[in-house]
Structure 1
Amino acid sequence: MYETIYHRPSSVDEAVALFGKGSEPKFLAGGHTLIPVMKQRLASPSDVIDIGKIKELIGIQVTGDTLVIKAATTYYDIMTSPDVKKAIPAIAHLTSVLGDPAVRSRGTIGGSIANNDPAADFPAALIALGATVKTNKRSIAAADFFKGLFTTALEDGEIITEVSFPIPEKAGYAKLRHPASRFALTGVFVAKAKNGEVRAAATGASQSGVMRVGAIEAALKGNWSAAALDNVTVSADGLLGDIHGTADYRANLIKVMAQRAVEAAG
């Protein structure tokens, strides 16, 4: 690894100030992306600013019809939270199939969505649930936050502070995991909002990262059941094809995972 200066600020304002002073600074949350990249010498930040222990960035609460998860809250805390299990059980399930115990004990929701890995789980949940990403500067709708592979709407020095999820009537998540990495070869999050709107988002499938699946949404809008998807055909256009599966294979996985997610949602 290259030489770097490690900082552990106690507040968001302090973290932002430290970022502004560094020549090539990077924020660190759980560390599952930045540390391996540094070890491979693909990144050499002048300053590593650890925001994972800032108290104002940790916590979960339910306010009215909204579940709020602070950015530095770990996957483990999300997975075991009674508030999450009651408000949106599908999010608790999503974290339970994310990575392994070591990843879940350190990884954070903010770190995941800021990195925007094309096979990450949480982006699909944000898109399907119509979540809002809040930062130290503004609020960003999930639909406007994810901009493509490893790309988001975040500006330099901008820190995610929390994610707000409208509590749906029903929601479910299912994925086929890569046996080694536990990333999603394809995962689908489905949600039916209290106003009746249906959304389905897939991760691990598209060349552009997380995506909505219109064919799934249209079928479920008229009939919320796994059987409603029996005759649905998902286009393979724009989907990933690699050593793990062709684009056609992933198109079929979207349908199958959507059916499983609907069954899980009830």
Structure 2
Amino acid sequence: MIPASFDYLAPASLADALAALAEHGDDAKVLAGGQSLLPILRMRLNAPEVVIDLGKVSELQGISEDGDTIVIGAMTPYAAVLASAAVSTHAALLSKAVATVADPQIRHRGTIGGALVHADPAGDVGAPILALDADLVIAGAGGATRTVAAADFFEDLFTTAVGDGELLTQIRIPKHTGWGARYEKFVRTAQQWSIVAVAATVRAEAGTIAEARVGLTNMGSTPLRATAVEQALVGQPATDEAVRAACARAADGTNPPSDLNGDADYRRHLVTVLTRRAVLAAAGV
């Protein structure tokens, strides 16, 4: 299908992008790669008067290190995240999750910030960002910025803390150097959205789990933390028996959807299996 007609703006700076957003308000949509927006426009599920393309805003791109933090610009493509030695070394969980996103074409066009703001609960970026305790930097009118913890960023289905007239600018991830990581994703066909997925990162010492972080994909209207599992894992030996017992609580506090891919009970069972697999792999078992 062909989208309805719209005006196209391609600002070259963050200040210009914010000004354009302030000028056009509810009549505008932000294009941050287009992985999700372009299909919506083509199907005419949304018909904005103006599309603001952030692709030329260079200050929103790139990956750097700031002390004990990895800083990723919101317009950084998935492919750049995959190619980053800093990310694979200090935030391996994100690298492993991004590797499962769609296909190479999408990974070269889609951006990490675009995915986070779109906030599809079946998307593969939210859970690892949540598990890694990231902070997200948001810019508003006049360039004023505020920082929101990942735990507070996802508010509801397709809804985040990014408000009207604001843009996500950075993702700041504390370094998890030396942590094992695994992203277990269950799909029926290649390149499909996750039916259920689990993001696990573990720090083990002498065969014992010292710390664990577990994020869940598509187990509710937002990405979720499996806090009961995390707490149960600490101090346990990195063995199948101990991990199995801790991961039995993976579905606690979740509210998974029921759809053609499986009902809620199926997903609750599946997340338990995937969490055990992810934690064992992250712990090196």
TM-score by length of 1: 0.92
- Relative to structure 1, is the Cα distance of residues 210 and 44 closer, same or farther in structure 2, using a 3 angstrom cutoff? same
Match of 2:274 among 247, 250, 257: 257
Tell me if the contact between 2:7 and 2:51 (Cα under 8 Å) persists in the aligned partners: yes
Match of 2:258 among 234, 241, 248: 241
- SS in structure 2 opposite 1:22? helix
Match of 1:205 among 219, 222, 242: 219
- SS in structure 1 opposite 2:234? helix
Match of 2:200 among 167, 179, 190: 190
The aligned residue for residue 214 of structure 1 is 227
- SS in structure 2 opposite 1:130? coil
Runs (5+) with no aligned partner, structure 1? none
In structure 2, distance between residues paired with 1:222 and 1:249: 30
Give 1:9's aligned amino acid: P
| Cα deviation code 1:219-245 (max 9, x no counterpart) | 222326362232324447622222111
TM-score by length of 2: 0.86
In structure 1, distance between residues paired with 2:65 and 2:71: 6
Tell me if the contact between 1:225 and 1:263 (Cα under 8 Å) persists in the aligned partners: yes
- SS in structure 1 opposite 2:195? strand
- Relative to structure 1, is the Cα distance of residues 30 and 119 closer, same or farther in structure 2, using a 3 angstrom cutoff? same
The aligned residue for residue 38 of structure 2 is 35
- SS in structure 2 opposite 1:184? coil
Match of 2:175 among 150, 164, 167: 167
Aligned length: 264
Match of 1:80 among 80, 83, 91: 83
- SS in structure 2 opposite 1:175? strand
In structure 1, distance between residues paired with 2:118 and 2:203: 27
Q: Percent identity?
A: 37
In structure 2, distance between residues paired with 1:8 and 1:225: 51
Over aligned residue pairs, what C-alpha RMSD do you find?
1.9
- SS in structure 2 opposite 1:225? coil
**Superposition deviation, residue 162 in structure 1:** 0.8
In structure 1, distance between residues paired with 2:227 and 2:49: 44
Give 1:120's aligned amino acid: G
| Cα deviation code 1:78-99 (max 9, x no counterpart) | 1111111221222211111111
| Cα deviation code 1:193-233 (max 9, x no counterpart) | 79x55321101122x22111133213222326362232324
**Superposition deviation, residue 178 in structure 1:** 4.2
Tell me if the contact between 2:251 and 2:272 (Cα under 8 Å) persists in the aligned partners: no
Residues 1:95 and 2:98 are matched in the alignment: yes
| Cα deviation code 1:2-49 (max 9, x no counterpart) | 111111100011011111222501110110111111111111111101
